[in-house]
Amino acid sequence: MAMRLFVSTALLVCASVGMAQQMSRSEGRDAIVTAQSRTVTSTMEYDVDRAGADYANFDLPTASWSYCRDQCLKDVKCLGWTYVKPETSQGPRPRCWLKNAVTHPNPNTCCISGVKSAN
């Protein structure tokens, strides 16, 4: 079971059995840094839809693109994500689409997308 401690809007510290994760924002990229010194980051692409290569999708409890991004950063299968804004192309609820491949970026004001990378 993971415990979460919100330090600020820019810093999230997650502690779980055997591993600590820290999320921070720097230079326009979001990152999760694990205890093994591996950084996983995601780009942020406003007004971009990366259609296709979906392996999971779900409604979000609130209109928060960062929740969608965070789900991708935590999942080793996820290589990209698209957040669909509420009251746009997919109805009244915000929706998250997780990708198992990096697809072509398409301009669309409905969405915010990102591509994950690790170093």
Under the banding of pLDDT at 50, 70 and 90, the label for residue 21 is very low
Say whether pLDDT at 18 is over 50: no
How confident is the model at residue 39, as a pLDDT? 83
Q: What is the pLDDT of residues 85-118, one digit of tens each?
A: 999 988 899 999 999 999 999 999 999 999 998 7
Say whether pLDDT at 2 is over 80: no
Q: At 21, which CATH number?
A: 3.50.4.10
Say whether pLDDT at 119 is over 80: no
Under a CB-based contact definition with an 8 Å cutoff, are residues 71 and 23 in contact?
no
Count of structural domains, the chain: 1
Say whether pLDDT at 38 is over 80: no
Under the banding of pLDDT at 50, 70 and 90, the label for residue 9 is very low
* Mean pLDDT across 19-35: 43
From residue 6, how far is each of 9, 11, 117 by CA, in Å? 7, 7, 24
How confident is the model at residue 37, as a pLDDT? 56
Q: What is the pLDDT of residues 55-86, one digit of tens each?
A: 999 999 999 999 999 999 999 999 999 999 99
Strand-pair partners of 49? 106
CA distance 14 to 115: 22
Domain with 42, as residue range(s), is 3-118
Q: How many residues does the chain have?
A: 119
